[in-house]
Structure 1
Amino acid sequence: MLLAKTLRSSTFRLALIAIAVFGLIVAAIMAYVYFGTLAYVRSRVGDAGDHGDFTAMIGLAMFAVAMLLAMLAGLAAVLVTRRTVGRIEEINATSRAIMLSGLDRRIPLRGSHDEWDRVAENLNLMLDRIETLMGEVKQVSDNVAHDLRTPLTRMRGRLEKAYHTPRDSEADAALIGDTIADLDAVLGMFASITRISEIETRARKGAFRRLNLVEVAGEVVELYDAAAEEVATRLSISGDREVSVTGDRDLLFDAIANLVDNAIKHGRAGGQVTVTCRSAGGGADIAIADDGPGIAAAQRDHVFKRFTRLEQSRYTPGNGLGLSLVAAVARLHGAEITLHDNAPGLTVRLSFPTS
């Protein structure tokens, strides 16, 4: 692979051109020396006293050739090195500018489409990714601060009120219960963030094994059957009886559970939620469909970001991390997650690759 890239590189092509030019020059000089020497010998046949002049002429010619080759090789080395160092200096200058002013600078491209342009393109893509991640970190920090402010303010208000009022066992018990609930919500938020980070670091691939996706989905349906009955929603599973995937059973359970929970919460009261598992082209698909209001097409790219909550879900329990966890699990398993209209409602599909 490295040899093939070397043979395709523009620097290698320049070196070949330089060597070819040098070779032509050397061949011309040697031809001149050869034919000149041949003419000299023919004109001096029989004159033994001229052999010293002949030897001196050959020596001078060879010395001239050596000096010319050294000069040309040095010139070629300078030209090739200057081109390489020039591109490196462009990268270094841009790197220094980025360190001083921020991530909005990019390495300039020359349009030559050589390996240096490809390096610059890859570095620019890396900078784009870093800028995106830094923006997401800032967004997460802002959202954490915003989401923590409400429960912490409520807890402080309750404690302050209790501090300034006489003790009442029933009121104190209610205050303690409400405070514990708020603390549980805060701790749950941090637990979700930690779990997503753990998944994104790909630290759990050691638990991957072959499993039947239908069994995992069936356990989720059984777990949420009571929650669905409370809102008169029919929860069912359909599709193939066996769908094999390679993955982490616990993470897949959590991802499917989050999708089913969302479908029940945001689906139509008295409606239906269907979980469908199928084998597809050597891979596997699982789809969770509801008949609720769905998600507008313009918002579908944003719902998998952390703490994103749509307007219609502002007054339902949650912290906007469920779909972020689903997306992290999908990335870990190399699966594609897509959203489709269910007319009415929404279908969330996880498509696993051939394993």
Structure 2
Amino acid sequence: MLLAKTLRSSTFRLALIAIATFGLIVAAIMAYVYFGTLAYVERRVGTVVDHDGFTGMIELAMAAVAALLLVLAGLAAVLVTRRTVGRIEQINATSRAIMLSGLDQRIPLRGSNDEWDRVAENLNQMLDRIETLMGEVKQVSDNVAHDLRTPLTRMRGRLEKAFHAPRNSEADAALIGDTIADLDAVLGMFASITRISEIETRARTGAFRALDLAEIAGEVVELYDAAAEQVATRLSLDGDRAVAITGDRDLLFDAIANLVDNAIKHGRKGGQVTVSCRRADGGALISIADDGPGIPAEQRDHVFKRFYRLEQSRYTPGNGLGLSLVAAVARLHGAEVALQDNAPGLKVELRFRATSAP
């Protein structure tokens, strides 16, 4: 089976063409040597000597060399093509197994570290990435279904109760208000998903311009000052007075606002939330620190996934999209986002390179 595929492969045909070209060149060289030798002997010895024995010996030697070259070239072509076709068949077999059974199959490596091993390794890494993305899609789908079920169930219950109850203007007004609030929550969730997708496709780089990151941070602190006072949390801003950066003002404002909002909500009641903005290594660094319970180290790589929540029951307010938006904004601006232990609490850092625009 493999030999038949080898003989039908385009690689084998290319090898035959190369061998034929090489053979013509060798034949031309051998002919030149043959006739050149005869001419040389004729000039030195003359015609009185019988050259038949000498000529026959040269012809036999050249025929033997030509036959040997032909056999070796054919054998090399078959072996090389067979090896290539064999590796391609491994990839094809794994591809068929993946299509039939799932993404758990991987292309075997031979440990030769040649170009075929590198191709197989790259394909395996691509399969790993696809499997990870498929898992994330499934998780997002499950979380969306769960988060939509609760408000939709509440709305249906209210409407069913109102349908069977006599009309009452105050009760109807309250019902309409609660239903609108639930619909706003659902629409807000889809708006957040759409916005994150838009950011991840880099569709908003046209709004990039020179900005003062410290000014944006100051506006966010001013906006959330009242919310912090309601829970007796001290919200403060420190660092450099002016930090130049290139980016999208609205997206940066939303990202910083999400981080400050999370710090106020999840920080210790009556605690401290500090926003620090300064120049660093030719770029910019902004950090938001609180003194709450923080995030366990083993979960810090997961909190930027969509709909991920530390509280797995999913009955606390929020939809788990805030940090996903922060991560998307950071990637769009070529920034690095890191979670650190604030002992106690959590510190989130956004570090922008000297050239922030992608």
Q: Structure 1 length normalisation: TM-score?
A: 0.84
Question: Residue 6 of structure 1 aligns with which residue?
Answer: none
Question: Residue 349 of structure 1 aligns with which residue?
Answer: 349
Letter in 2 for 1:93: A
Question: Residue 243 of structure 2 aligns with which residue?
Answer: 243
Question: Residue 77 of structure 1 aligns with which residue?
Answer: 77
Question: Residue 173 of structure 1 aligns with which residue?
Answer: 173
Residues 187-221 of structure 1, C-alpha deviation per residue, up to 9 Å, x if partnerless?
00111111111122222233333322212212211
Question: Residue 277 of structure 1 aligns with which residue?
Answer: 277
CA–CA distance in structure 2, aligned partners of residues 146 and 227 of structure 1 = 29
CA–CA distance in structure 1, aligned partners of residues 177 and 335 of structure 2 = 41
Residues 106-151 of structure 1, C-alpha deviation per residue, up to 9 Å, x if partnerless?
0101111112111111111110110010001001111111111110
Residues 4-30 of structure 1, C-alpha deviation per residue, up to 9 Å, x if partnerless?
xxxxxxxxxxx9xxx9xx9xxx9xx98
Letter in 2 for 1:146: H
CA positional deviation for 1:270: 2.3
Q: How many residues align?
A: 331
CA–CA distance in structure 1, aligned partners of residues 329 and 261 of structure 2 = 16
CA positional deviation for 1:239: 1.0
Question: Residue 261 of structure 2 aligns with which residue?
Answer: 261
Asked if 2 retains the 8 angstrom alpha-carbon contact of 1:140 and 1:306, the reply is: yes
1:98 has 2:98 as partner: yes
SS at match of 1:103: coil
SS at match of 1:48: coil
Question: Residue 155 of structure 1 aligns with which residue?
Answer: 155
1:231 has 2:231 as partner: yes
CA positional deviation for 1:312: 9.6
Letter in 1 for 2:124: N
58-67 or 131-140, which deviates more: 58-67
Question: Residue 5 of structure 1 aligns with which residue?
Answer: none
CA–CA distance in structure 2, aligned partners of residues 118 and 267 of structure 1 = 48
Asked if 2 retains the 8 angstrom alpha-carbon contact of 1:233 and 1:271, the reply is: yes
CA positional deviation for 1:316: 4.7
CA positional deviation for 1:339: 1.2
Question: Residue 7 of structure 1 aligns with which residue?
Answer: none
CA–CA distance in structure 1, aligned partners of residues 233 and 46 of structure 2 = 118
CA positional deviation for 1:57: 4.5
Q: Structure 2 length normalisation: TM-score?
A: 0.83
1:123 has 2:128 as partner: no
CA–CA distance in structure 2, aligned partners of residues 89 and 233 of structure 1 = 65
230-239 or 151-160, which deviates more: 230-239
How does 1:57-72 map onto structure 2 within 5 Å?
A: 57-72=57-72
Letter in 1 for 2:248: D
SS at match of 1:173: helix
Letter in 1 for 2:109: L
Residues 267-307 of structure 1, C-alpha deviation per residue, up to 9 Å, x if partnerless?
22222211111222223211001122222222222221211
CA–CA distance in structure 2, aligned partners of residues 354 and 118 of structure 1 = 35
Asked if 2 retains the 8 angstrom alpha-carbon contact of 1:266 and 1:313, the reply is: no
1:286 has 2:286 as partner: yes
SS at match of 2:50: helix
CA–CA distance in structure 1, aligned partners of residues 63 and 305 of structure 2 = 72
Question: Residue 114 of structure 2 aligns with which residue?
Answer: 114
Asked if 2 retains the 8 angstrom alpha-carbon contact of 1:98 and 1:105, the reply is: yes
Structure 2 spans left out of the alignment, 5+ residues: 1-14
SS at match of 1:278: strand
Question: Residue 9 of structure 1 aligns with which residue?
Answer: none
